[in-house]
Chains A and B, each alone.
Chain A
Amino acid sequence: MADHAAALVREHFSTAEQQRETETLGMWIFLATEVMFFGGLFVAFTVYRMYYPQAFGTGSAGMNIVLGSINTAVLITSSFTMAMAVHSAEVGNPRLLTLLLIVTMLLGCIFLGIKFTEYYQHFLEHRMPGVWFDYAGPAASKVQMFFVFYYFMTGLHALHMIVGVGVLLVILGRAMAGSFSAGYSTPVAMAGLYWSFVDIIWVFLFAIFYLQGLHV
């Protein structure tokens, strides 16, 4: 097993441990850039939310809190199964790893399915900013702005989810080919970091978009 791991050390690293630590560090730095990437949107959202609390509340009232909560639960569960997948890779249980990866991907797809159902409902309600937006109440442009941020941020999040599913597909392929062992499972851990990070972003999106609309 140790030999197998050593064979996978790239030539510019001296030890597998150095490689694992470096890759983990690189992944976390990447996640820090992702924090700033979404962070810019959160800042812009906060500014406008502060100025237009009524209009943003009105926008929030258009959210389906039940679907949103279910979706959050789905995503948290997928994060859990992903963490368990990483765990099973670490203890060298490839069959459980394969199973958990598939479950995680399925949950990711369920999330996306529910999300696109919501989009479709908003579309039916004429809540597509710019092209298909129809709102008769006061401060329409600010309500529209809420939806701009809603689509932009959840859309970007959904894009990250789709990328995540793609990454898991690759990991799944490698897991089924038997690339991972108790000595070498860094790629699974990296994918797990990414997946859980996307979950974290969603937890905040859920808080700012879904939970504010019931008392406008």
Chain B
Amino acid sequence: MSTTVAVPVETNYLTEKQGILSWLLTTDHKRIGLLYFFSVTAFFFVGGFFAVLMRLHLLTPQGVIVGPETYNKLFTMHGIIMVWFFLIPSIPATLGNFLIPMMIGAKDLAFPKLNLASWYVFMLGGAVTLWALVRGGVDTGWTFYTPFSTTYSTTYVVGAALGIFISGFSSIMTGINFIATIHRMRAPGLTWFRLPIFIWSHYATSMIFVLATPVLAITLLMVCFERLFQVGIFDPALGGDPVLFQHMFWFYSHPAVYVMILPAMAVVSEIIPVFSRRPIFGYTAVAYSSVAIAVVGFLVWGHHLFVAGESVYSAMAFSFMSYLVAIPSAIKVFNWSATMVKGSISWDTPMLYAIGFLGLFTIGGMTGLFLAALGLDVHVTDTYFVVAHFHYIMVGGAVMAYLGGVHYWWPKISGKMYPEGLARLSALIVFLGFNLTFFPQFVLGFLGMPRRYAAYPDEFQFLHVLSTAGASILGVGYVLPLCYLIWAWKYGKEAGPNPWRATGLEWQTASPPPAQNFDTTPIVTRPAYDFEGMKEELHLG
């Protein structure tokens, strides 16, 4: 460690080369991670802006700001941007890109040029989608259900679908890169069971990227084909079956949910041990459960189709599988909780986010059990119950973990500390605002409020107002980190290589790291999270 600290600060990855071209043509995984970071942040606030407009609109039963056409476009674009241009690339392409080579002691990902290409493809897809948005938007819902999307919608379906199709290739490239890297580029001594859980989870995520994304690509291509040439693939008027579209769409889109949550679990699995100073409880179970989620996650998509015209027997099989996939998630939650018992728990911001994640993910996961129960799903599916459920997973789970991860690795990425007090405050605001926004939506759904309604019966107004109030608080909670992290980039105090006294390899090099990550390839002799074994180095005890 002492040798790495001696490296002059001038040669870190941020300062080694200067100029805009050095960023646009970089093949350094850390810089590409940052390029992704800036892009998804921008997309997040675009998608968030749509969400704010929607919540404002729903203050009164008849809607206050926009007409139904615009409202429909708002929720569609909110969904498309948040799912494909924020959530899916969020953790893997930013933190994953930045950290995977460092965590396994490699100089870079296996295919650095492919990595850069993935960012360009992502941006191209984003540009095409935004172009469709500027031209007038899309109103099909992010799910593109046929025959509405292929025949009846008069909006820019092809543009939006093409944008998603293109950006899908960036996911595939990232997935190929991660799998090859994790298999072939590990430092000497770094066996599979010495890997941080972060790597296991990203490995599982990459499996989904590689095996599910192409199915979405081909499905959207068929939708475009059908819409452009007016031929029958899914259109019942021409012999097609719209339910087949739903099967193919959800074959990708359900595993895609695990693309969003597995990396979040990855982040939390790093934060909790470090801020409890205790190895993760039941390492093997947590590691395998990531892979189990990825594999079994492919067998459950039909639970989106329980009332869609799927056969009853098929629905039963999918319901059964859905309960099976809940088990590895449950195991993880229990193991994280057990890790904290009798630890040395710090209340730093990343840990606050991790604890928030634990609570919200538990609620989100458990309401998933309601939706997997066939008889209950009939009532609550396609209502605000579902909306609340997946926001608890994706916002309460994935975004909380993402923010936690950004704070945790911020010292490594920027070399500077963020303002701790302000950060804790914003973590609290996010937690409270989130619950106020989405908990009322569970109640709304149970009472029968269908989703995607631009106007609603009067009796639902009170809960909608609560939800909108919560959204305004949540918005503040998201803008705050944006401001103070930018501030901290320039004015934060120097972090030093290992401010959290963490055990991972990424903390054994300078902050910010040198372009080659490590001066000499590290040799690993310990399991992950071995605080006891590293207590001399970390000055603990």
A and B touch in the complex (CB under 8 A): yes
Assembled-state Cα–Cα distance A214/B478 (Å): 65
A129 touching B241, Cβ below 8 Å = no
Q: Which residue of B lies closest to A38 (CB)?
A: B218
Distance in angstroms from B61 CB to nearest chain A CB is 42
A34 touching B214, Cβ below 8 Å = yes
**Majority secondary structure, A binding face:** helix
A29 touching B180, Cβ below 8 Å = yes
Assembled-state Cα–Cα distance A26/B238 (Å): 41
A93: CB under 8 A from chain B? Answer: no
A47: CB under 8 A from chain B? Answer: yes
With contacts A29-B210, A33-B172, A148-B232 known, is A12 near B107, CB below 8 A? yes
B233 touching A12, Cβ below 8 Å = no
Q: Which of B106, B111, B219 contacts A40 (CB 8 A)?
A: B219
A interface residues, how many (CB within 8 angstroms): 40
Q: Which of A12, A29, A130 contacts B229 (CB 8 A)?
A: A130
B215 touching A141, Cβ below 8 Å = no
Chain B positions 44 through 85: 1 when the CB is less than 8 Å from some CB of chain A, otherwise 0: 000000000000000000000000000000000000000000
With contacts A12-B112, A145-B233 known, is A36 near B239, CB below 8 A? no
A134: CB under 8 A from chain B? Answer: no
A121: CB under 8 A from chain B? Answer: no
A177: CB under 8 A from chain B? Answer: no
Assembled-state Cα–Cα distance A26/B185 (Å): 12
B interface residues, how many (CB within 8 angstroms): 43
Assembled-state Cα–Cα distance A145/B235 (Å): 10
With contacts A25-B183, A26-B180 known, is A141 near B244, CB below 8 A? no
Assembled-state Cα–Cα distance A40/B245 (Å): 10
* Set of chain B residues within 8 Å of A129, measured between Cβ atoms: 229, 231-232
Q: Which of B180, B218, B232 contacts A25 (CB 8 A)?
A: B180
**Majority secondary structure, B binding face:** helix
A11 touching B107, Cβ below 8 Å = yes
Distance in angstroms from B148 CB to nearest chain A CB is 19
B180 touching A33, Cβ below 8 Å = no
Q: Which residue of B lies closest to A55 (CB)?
A: B239
Assembled-state Cα–Cα distance A200/B29 (Å): 35
Assembled-state Cα–Cα distance A40/B213 (Å): 11
Chain B positions 202 through 227: 1 when the CB is less than 8 Å from some CB of chain A, otherwise 0: 00000000111111011100100100
Q: Which of B183, B210, B213, B248 contacts A43 (CB 8 A)?
A: B248
With contacts A29-B180, A30-B176 known, is A148 near B231, CB below 8 A? yes
B499: CB under 8 A from chain A? Answer: no
B244 touching A44, Cβ below 8 Å = yes
B248 touching A40, Cβ below 8 Å = yes
B230 touching A36, Cβ below 8 Å = no
* Set of chain B residues within 8 Å of A36, measured between Cβ atoms: 211-212, 214-215
Chain A positions 8 through 41: 1 when the CB is less than 8 Å from some CB of chain B, otherwise 0: 0011111000100111011001101110111111
Add 4 more A-B contacts to A25-B180, A32-B210, A40-B215 (CB < 8 A).
A21-B184, A22-B183, A25-B179, A36-B212
Q: Which 9 A-B pairs have the closest CB atoms?
A: A37-B214, A130-B229, A40-B218, A12-B107, A12-B108, A22-B184, A130-B231, A36-B214, A129-B231
A–B complex contacts, Cβ < 8 Å, 20 sampled: A12-B109, A22-B180, A22-B184, A25-B179, A25-B180, A25-B184, A26-B111, A26-B114, A26-B176, A29-B180, A33-B214, A40-B251, A44-B233, A48-B240, A48-B241, A51-B241, A130-B229, A145-B238, A148-B231, A152-B225
A contact residues vs B (CB 8 Å cutoff)? 10-14, 18, 21-23, 25-26, 29-30, 32-34, 36-41, 43-44, 47-48, 51-52, 55, 129-131, 139, 141-142, 144-145, 148-149, 152
